Structure 1
Amino acid sequence: MDLKTKKKYYNLCDPYEPLMPEDQRNVDLDFLGEEGGRPVRGINWGDMLLKEITFPDRPIYKLFTGHRGSGKTTEFKKLAGRLYDPEECNLFPVLIDAEEIIDLENPIAVPDIISSIIYSTEKAIIQEEGGNTEKALDEGYLKRLWNWMKNTDIELNKAELAIPSAGKLVYEMKTRPTLRQHVRSIIVSNFSGFIKEARNELESLNVNVLQKFGRDGIVIIFDSLEKLEGTSKNWYDVLESAELVFKVNAAYMRLPVHVLYTVPPALSTRITDIDFMPMIKVYDRNKNRHEPGLAAARELIRRRVPKDILQELFGLNPWNRIDDLILWSGGYPRDMLHMLQKIIAVNDHPLSDSDFEHIIAYIRNQYRRIITGDALHWLANVATTKDLTIEGDVHLRAADRMLNQHVVLSYLNNDSWYDLHPTVYQIPNIKKAIQDLEKELQRGEKNHEGSGST
């Protein structure tokens, strides 16, 4: 295979590229599964979200999570298209990418999120009208907010806190921590007034989309907040700020319009009523192959790499090795594509056993580096029970890191269940921790039997 061909398919398998719904590589997993049975991710996620938004008479507040690279953004784009369709829902969806307007490496706060929502909604309405976005935003809500804050605190009039224009306030807050903290402190001093004004603004915008476009209401989809993670120095501060925003201050995050927020997977152990979009189920809890899931994953690969190229990569009968790749990924699309890129990049094809083992070892070592000693017992418990049992702060902190780093993957049958990433089972410390826990459980059963017979 020449370099040009390798490069073409390597980039078609980019695990970090969110796909547009119309992209030929996109596989609608909601419609793949057992005949007459459940889809390969447990439920039809698109239909479920659509119904939860459109059925209630009152605005919904929804928290949603999933591992990065599991297909959430593509699902939200499809959902936005269905919500916008006049024949289906006739709503006005506003899809927000948190990476563009929020500093995801530092703690967040309610004012950051609320001001970003109003800014993004105003911008979407102006774009729908075909107006001058920059000029209109400079004269809208952010201008009134900025003027109010300058009148409240004269410090904002100093040069070091100045901004180019009111319409750029959200972006300036993202990139300038000093300004962000100052804005937060001003808003906190008159928090109820800020919330009231924000709600009034959204209600007014909701009326606008009805009067101007004949739309039946606004739907906010705030994507990419699951990437809120921080650095090694402030990891827990960042996570705790998300818990404060979406749990303690949930009442302020409920808006007079429909709103769906993504949140870090770690919050699923801290906040109830978070929907967790699972992996493709390629095996069951007992490690038996799940053929519908394998078929769906094969289709995901086929959409990127045609059969003749797969035969060049793997040999004339590529499917056994491709199934091995899928099973080693645990049904995690990002790792599946990551391994496929590694396979395309090797020097010699068809892929040899030693090259394949090297690629699996590479993935395993990526996980080994992020597993710390205090997480071993909890991970062994997940491997044994297929559940997220939390016993104290040590377990909670282990769960936070291991869920966010997709060391632990989520699956769904009738009930949700969890498992370690398949490569993690090969890590010696994990193997030993599982063996030790199994022995401990066996001793407990024998002691229980002994006490029952006396």
Structure 2
Amino acid sequence: MTIDIRKFYQITNPSKTLNINNGVDDQYYIDFSSVRGGDIISELKEKITFWQPDEPTCTLFTGHIGCGKSTELLRLQAELEKDNFHVVYFESSEDLVTTDVDIADVMLAIARRVSQSLDKITLEEPKKLKELLQGAWKVLNAEVTAAELKVPGVGDLGFSQENEKFSLAFGIGKITARTKSDPSLREKLNQFLAPQKLTLLQAINQELLADAIAKLKQQGKKGLTVIVDNLDRIDNRVKAWGRPQQEYLFVDQGEFLTKLNCHIVYTMPLSLKFSNDYGMLTQRFPEDPKVLPMVPVQFPDGSIHASGMALMQQMVLARAFPEIAPAERLKNITAIFDDATTLEHLCRMSGGHVRDLLRLLNSLIQKQREFPLRRETLETVIRERRNEIMMPISPQEWQLLRRVKETKKVSDDEGYQKLIRSRFVFEYRSGGESWFEVNPILTETEELL
């Protein structure tokens, strides 16, 4: 069976998220729930559609960056929309400066995206929100003349030239654009909104969400769900007052995240599960975070996890042969690789991390430039990747990695948080069992032998 190597390279791009809603990517999707300890997305859907359809829900969803959370959340969107819910999915990294996030930034981003998604529904004018936004606009422009700005005056915030009616999304968008590249303006905005965040929350709930849900139900929709993706990517740098940003947002301000009166799902940094403040975080939210673990490709004793390995192999083969049955794909492995063991080794060295598998595969294709992809070239790619990721590892971190390798456990120590964030350590769940492993790329280093 002939395969276009350039097309194969493009479809294995590790930076591309599968969107099973577009009618094309669904043929490449592999359901890993059977080896990940359960179908988390079905649980989330049931919570919203069956258990609490008419009550607000709030869920934290976490896992290693690149493990497939976005793909699964897009599947959740598709499932909820089939069940007649209005779903607003957005990547928060497009709205927020991930190195400097405040709770008001998150609330404004949600309000903007919800308002934007309802452009065909006429909502009541949000008077309090309008007042808050215009106050913020005055603060931001206090030291700049209208001529220098070359934008409509303060009183025109939220009014586009095409439409004289106030647009909440347009108004928030102008403020976001004004502050995104200027830290001093972001600081001014947060200083203005911080004392009023409760007022902001109440205004969003009363003037936007309540009206939106009522109008949606009049149109036959069952409710509103907001999915805030990429919030797990916020930087953990320390705020000016000494608090790490992730703990500040999800622990100190967690109560505000839970108080929006709609169904809402946030992605959360996995490292927070290993923070000393994790117990406090679980008190802020109605239930523990849902974790999307790695796909297990081997058991703690080092033996191959047959089911996990088979699904990871299918993920690769589906990119090459999307139109044929899984069993038939296995018969065509040698059309891509020099031997079936090369594909197995690729999957094992990925550690069951979806994006890392694609990264290794993509580099292998680029380096080889022709089929079949050979084992010796794969070993070169692995060595290059190993050299790249081991450079920043300190002697203390090597010691922690040796401990993980021996015990298959981590603690709430700050050092382990960095190992999790840096993807030096992966979490697995299978058959009711949970364990941790060092990233297989690192296991053959002198420091761990």
Q: Is 1:192 equivalent to 2:165 in the alignment? A: no
* Counterpart residue number, 1:279: 294
| Aligned-partner residue type, residue 216 of structure 2 | V
* Counterpart residue number, 1:367: 389
| Aligned-partner residue type, residue 311 of structure 1 | T
* Counterpart residue number, 1:249: 253
**Structure 2: distance between partners of 1:239 and 1:430:** 34
SS class of match (1:409)? strand
**Structure 1: distance between partners of 2:243 and 2:340:** 41
Specify whether residues 157 and 139 from structure 1 end up closer, same or farther in structure 2 by C-alpha distance, changes over 3 A only.
farther
Specify whether residues 66 and 236 from structure 1 end up closer, same or farther in structure 2 by C-alpha distance, changes over 3 A only.
farther
1:96 aligned residue (86, 90, 99)? 90
2:31 aligned residue (24, 29, 32)? 29
Structure 1 position 153, deviation (Å) = 8.2
Percentage identity across paired residues of the two chains: 23
| Aligned-partner residue type, residue 108 of structure 1 | V
Structure 1 position 419, deviation (Å) = 1.1
SS class of match (1:47)? helix
Aligned length: 402
* Counterpart residue number, 1:436: none
1:208 aligned residue (206, 211, 215)? 215
1:314 aligned residue (337, 340, 343)? 337
Specify whether residues 30 and 140 from structure 1 end up closer, same or farther in structure 2 by C-alpha distance, changes over 3 A only.
farther
The answer to whether the 8 Å contact 2:428/2:434 transfers is yes
| Aligned-partner residue type, residue 221 of structure 1 | I
Specify whether residues 149 and 360 from structure 1 end up closer, same or farther in structure 2 by C-alpha distance, changes over 3 A only.
closer
SS class of match (1:289)? coil
Unaligned runs of at least 5 residues, structure 2: 159-169, 283-287, 322-328
**Structure 2: distance between partners of 1:82 and 1:140:** 35
The answer to whether the 8 Å contact 1:30/1:45 transfers is no
1:145 aligned residue (122, 132, 156)? 132
The answer to whether the 8 Å contact 1:108/1:242 transfers is no
Specify whether residues 84 and 312 from structure 1 end up closer, same or farther in structure 2 by C-alpha distance, changes over 3 A only.
closer
SS class of match (1:326)? helix
User: TM-score of the superposition, structure 2-length normalised?
Assistant: 0.81
Q: Is 1:290 equivalent to 2:284 in the alignment? A: no
* Counterpart residue number, 1:336: 357
Deviates more, 1:366-375 or 1:178-187: 366-375
* Counterpart residue number, 1:78: 75
SS class of match (1:221)? strand
When the two chains are superposed, the root-mean-square deviation of aligned CA atoms in Å is 3.0
User: TM-score of the superposition, structure 1-length normalised?
Assistant: 0.80
* Counterpart residue number, 2:418: 401
Structure 1 position 200, deviation (Å) = 1.7
Higher helix share: 1
* Counterpart residue number, 1:303: 318
**Structure 2: distance between partners of 1:189 and 1:239:** 18
2:110 aligned residue (114, 117, 120)? 117
**Structure 1: distance between partners of 2:239 and 2:192:** 25
**Structure 1: distance between partners of 2:205 and 2:382:** 51
**Structure 2: distance between partners of 1:358 and 1:153:** 53
**Structure 2: distance between partners of 1:416 and 1:372:** 27
Q: Is 1:419 equivalent to 2:437 in the alignment? A: yes
Deviates more, 1:237-246 or 1:323-332: 237-246
The answer to whether the 8 Å contact 1:408/1:419 transfers is yes
* Counterpart residue number, 2:162: none
Structure 1 position 148, deviation (Å) = 3.1
Specify whether residues 171 and 83 from structure 1 end up closer, same or farther in structure 2 by C-alpha distance, changes over 3 A only.
farther
**Structure 2: distance between partners of 1:378 and 1:243:** 23
* Counterpart residue number, 2:165: none
* Counterpart residue number, 1:60: 57
The answer to whether the 8 Å contact 1:64/1:260 transfers is yes
| Aligned-partner residue type, residue 320 of structure 1 | T
**Structure 2: distance between partners of 1:98 and 1:367:** 27
The answer to whether the 8 Å contact 1:13/1:340 transfers is yes
1:410 aligned residue (416, 427, 442)? 427
**Structure 1: distance between partners of 2:306 and 2:267:** 30
SS class of match (2:19)? coil
Structure 1 position 249, deviation (Å) = 1.5
Q: CA offsets, 1:65-84, max 9 Å, x none?
A: 11222111111111111111
Specify whether residues 150 and 354 from structure 1 end up closer, same or farther in structure 2 by C-alpha distance, changes over 3 A only.
closer
The answer to whether the 8 Å contact 2:28/2:318 transfers is yes
| Aligned-partner residue type, residue 104 of structure 2 | P
Q: CA offsets, 1:250-302, max 9 Å, x none?
A: 11111111111101121121334222201111111211111111111111011
The answer to whether the 8 Å contact 1:161/1:179 transfers is no
* Counterpart residue number, 2:223: 217
